[in-house]
Amino acid sequence: MSAPAIGRKVGRGALWSLLNNVVLRLGVLVSGIVLARLLSPADYGVFAVALVAMTLLQAFNELGVSLALVRWERDVRTFAGTAMTIAIATSTVLYAAVWFGAPAFCEAMGSPAAVEVMRVLCLAVLFDGIAVVPAAILNREFLQGRRFLADVLSFATSTSVTITLAATGSGPMSFAIGTICGNIASVTCYLLLCPVKVRPAWNRDIARELIHFGLPLAGASLLTLSVSNVDKLGIGALTDEVTLGLYLMAFNQSSLPLMVFSEAARRVSLAGFSRLLDDRERLENSLARGVALLMAATVPVCVLLACYAEPMLAVVYGEKWTPAAVALQVLAALGLLRVILFVGYDLLVALDGNRILLALQALWLVCTVPALIAGTLLDGIRGASIGQLAISGCIVLPAFAIVLRRRGVRLGATVRACVRPAVGGLLIIASAIGVREFVDGSFAQLAIGGLVALAVYAPVVLPMRALLPGRSQAEVTP
């Protein structure tokens, strides 16, 4: 396929994926507000224990073989059935382990009440094992419009069930049951909308190849999610359910830019990077364009979350959540770094840097654990957040940059392309200092601060609209 044709497919896929994420995350935001007002921080803490277990399992439940469906150039029909068999079998074994291991895990997390919630929520692992192959094929073919339909139906089902149960007093179990109902809807849609009708099959030679390719990636994904969830494990073990619930609220808010913008890009970035490996200059320019646009969209959200954390939580979620502001102010900056790091992750996958990813993720985890423990013991959830930010910014980000440079990827164009968002972010910080000083009241600070931020940020980044898909393909300049 020609480079312009690839560019058009990636551009269309990215736009559909962005629409998908914006619509769904807007819905998640609205439903999250409703649920936060119905439930307590302790309910969120119980759910967080179960959520950590489910998230870690989903990183390993298909041994990474779904990434071969995106990365390999061969006919997907020759190995999709074997990939599905591996995913289903692994998911079944993992869920059996969850069922029997839930009491010990929840006891270690200081939340025995989470056992049944965990057993129900982790049923999602079984459904994910069925859905992962058709979902990966939709990504491979840039059919994000179809994914949009499936995800909207899943979200509508999950949200309606969760809110209904929460309103009737089901507590944290409402999250678990709602999630499973949404998974059933999404699995059905993926199977119906996938252009390749996938059924479980088996070929020993293909299975060996898939596992050889995917296992390092599954290990890297497990380490990545361990890094993303070790904070909840540590805080849950060292504090209590209420503190964990407050931290989960702060973490979820800081993750909004990652979920809206980065996930949209990641659905097409791996496939796009993989098809540009033979043209290193074009790959570097595409990386610079993508990161610059991600930063232009992500920086203002992260900066506003950090500057107006307390008034935002008070106005949107209620006063009972304002103690989470001390963590959100720091985690917002961490969210910005995570957006950048996940782009680097996908680029290394495309460059076949699977094993080096394991080393990078291991470095991240090993450095984070002591910083997290020390931070939590010294200053609660704020200390835990500061420790994670320091490790990510001072150790992990430079390590990713060094590895990519040694792989022959020059990052100068990417850094230059991010100058405008960085300048705009500094202007928002300066404006927020003035607003918080002279404006009283949470709602007034949010309203006036948002308008002032738009006024100072927009003129700086508007020239970057030339980087949007379909515009000039010239080399990115600051």
Q: Is residue 342 part of a domain?
A: yes
Q: What tens digit of pLDDT does each residue of 193-218 get?
A: 888 888 888 988 888 888 887 777 67
User: Which structural domain range is residue 177 located in?
Assistant: 3-467
Q: Tell me, what's the pLDDT at 271?
A: 56
Confidence of residue 476 (pLDDT cuts 50, 70, 90): very low
Domains in the chain: how many in total?
Answer: 1
> How far is it, in rounded angstroms, from Cα 215 to Cα 202?
18
Q: Is residue 309 part of a domain?
A: yes
Contact between 394 and 266 under an 8 Å Cβ cutoff? The reply is no
Q: How many CB atoms lie within 10 A of CB 96?
A: 10
Q: What tens digit of pLDDT does each residue of 324-359 get?
A: 999 999 999 999 998 888 888 878 877 766 678 778
Instruction: Please say if the pLDDT value at position 127 is more than 60.
Output: yes
Contact between 274 and 71 under an 8 Å Cβ cutoff? The reply is yes
Instruction: Please say if the pLDDT value at position 69 is more than 60.
Output: yes
Confidence of residue 245 (pLDDT cuts 50, 70, 90): very high
Q: Is residue 478 part of a domain?
A: no
> How far is it, in rounded angstroms, from Cα 311 to Cα 85?
49
CA distances 314 to 31, 317, 439, Å, are 17, 6, 16
Q: Tell me, what's the pLDDT at 301?
A: 92
Instruction: Please say if the pLDDT value at position 405 is more than 90.
Output: no
Q: Tell me, what's the pLDDT at 278?
A: 65
Write down how long the chain is: 478
Q: Is residue 472 part of a domain?
A: no
Q: Tell me, what's the pLDDT at 474?
A: 44
Instruction: Please say if the pLDDT value at position 1 is more than 60.
Output: no
Q: Is residue 283 part of a domain?
A: yes
Q: Tell me, what's the pLDDT at 243?
A: 93
Q: Tell me, what's the pLDDT at 283?
A: 76
Please give the full DSSP string across 436-447, using - where no structure is assigned: HHH--SHHHHHH
Alpha carbon dihedral 263, 267, 271, 276, in 10-degree steps, equals -40
Q: Is residue 473 part of a domain?
A: no
Q: Is residue 477 part of a domain?
A: no
> How far is it, in rounded angstroms, from Cα 193 to Cα 149?
9
Q: What tens digit of pLDDT does each residue of 253-299 get?
A: 998 877 766 665 555 555 566 666 666 677 777 788 888 888 898 99
What mean pLDDT is predicted for residues 40-59?
Answer: 83
Q: Is residue 327 part of a domain?
A: yes
Q: How many CB atoms lie within 10 A of CB 238?
A: 16
Q: Tell me, what's the pLDDT at 276?
A: 65
pTM: 0.75
User: Which range has the worst mean pLDDT, 7-21, 91-105, 131-145?
Assistant: 7-21
Top pLDDT among 181 and 283 is at 181
Q: Tell me, what's the pLDDT at 473?
A: 46
Instruction: Please say if the pLDDT value at position 136 is more than 90.
Output: no
User: Which range has the worst mean pLDDT, 133-137, 241-245, 365-369, 391-395?
Assistant: 133-137
* Distance of alpha carbon 52 from the chain centroid: 14
- Helices (H) and strands (E) in the chain — how many of each? 20, 0
Instruction: Please say if the pLDDT value at position 155 is more than 70.
Output: yes
Q: Tell me, what's the pLDDT at 392?
A: 94
